[in-house]
Amino acid sequence: MTTTTGRPADHGVLPATAPEERSPAVVLMHPARRVAQLLLGLVGFGVATAMMLHSGQGAMPWAVLDQGIVDRTGLAYGWVVLGIGLLVMLAWIPLRQRPGVGTVANIIVISLVIDPALWVLERLLPTPGLPAGIALALGGIVLLGVSTAAYVGARFGPGPRDGLMTGLVQQTGWPVWLVKTGIEVGVVLLGVLLGGTFGWATVVFAFGVGPVVQVSARWLAPSGLTGHH
């Protein structure tokens, strides 16, 4: 485990601040802030997803799949997000992953937020042109990165898709980048086949959201993104 400064969290002799660095986020973050950060992060995640979907410039990988299913079934996005989240959680069983409060909140809050957010965007910008679409897509990527750092930094448990990735890494021994890339390429291909929108914003998201999460984690994840509860 490493700290947010990149130093190993456990080396033998450390400065007087070492116990704080090894302590969980519960010590470094007030419980009320953790709850608020979790909920605001999930709300922000839902709004950011809606921004990218409405931009018409390409959605994040899992949202491409959601969009394809919506186009084929006519269901509301919220129901599709909820259904996919529950199905992904079923895959946790053979992978021996344990959900947390944040895992359940992730599915419920994002499912509830995304349709109202899309409704507001459709009234404000019924048919966004290219400049507005670019602004929505880039703004969505930044907001999604900050929101991810917020809800992960609160340490109430991973989202269902994050748990799928970590479970596969643990079971296969494959590197994180390979598992994550494989999952996201797979869901994008399936989403495109179903009618989801793949665009430049999908590619920018793949390369750009990580740095946003890392920078945001300096303030939103005091013990680092890889710390334990």
Average pLDDT of each block of 10 consecutive residues along the chain (229 residues)? 43 40 53 95 97 95 95 95 94 89 95 97 95 97 94 90 87 86 92 94 91 89 62
Task: Kindly report the number of other CB atoms within 10 A of residue 11's CB atom.
Answer: 8
The structure tokens 């021994």 sit at 173
- Return d(Cα 29, Cα 27) in angstroms, integer: 6
Q: What is the pLDDT of residue 202?
A: 95
N-term to C-term CA, the chain: 12
| pTM for the structure as a whole | 0.82
What's the confidence (pLDDT) of residue 97?
Answer: 86
Instruction: Name residue 69's amino acid.
Output: I
Nearest to 103 by CA among 44, 60, 42: 42
Q: What is the pLDDT of residue 226?
A: 57
Integer angstrom CA distances of residue 6 from 82, 148, 215, 225, 226: 36, 20, 13, 11, 11
Residue-level pLDDT at 225: 62
153 CB-near residues (< 8 Å, 6+ apart): 25, 29, 37, 41, 217, 220, 221, 222, 225
Cβ atoms of residues 202 and 61 within 8 Å: yes
C-beta of residue 225 within 8 angstroms of C-beta of residue 23: no
State residue 222's pLDDT score.
Answer: 78
Task: Please tell me the distance from the alpha carbon of residue 151 to that of residue 112, in angstroms, as a whole number.
Answer: 16
C-alpha to C-alpha distance for 90 and 47, rounded to whole angstroms: 26
- Rounded-to-10 torsion of CA 204, 226, 34, 17: -130
Residue 147: predicted pLDDT:
95
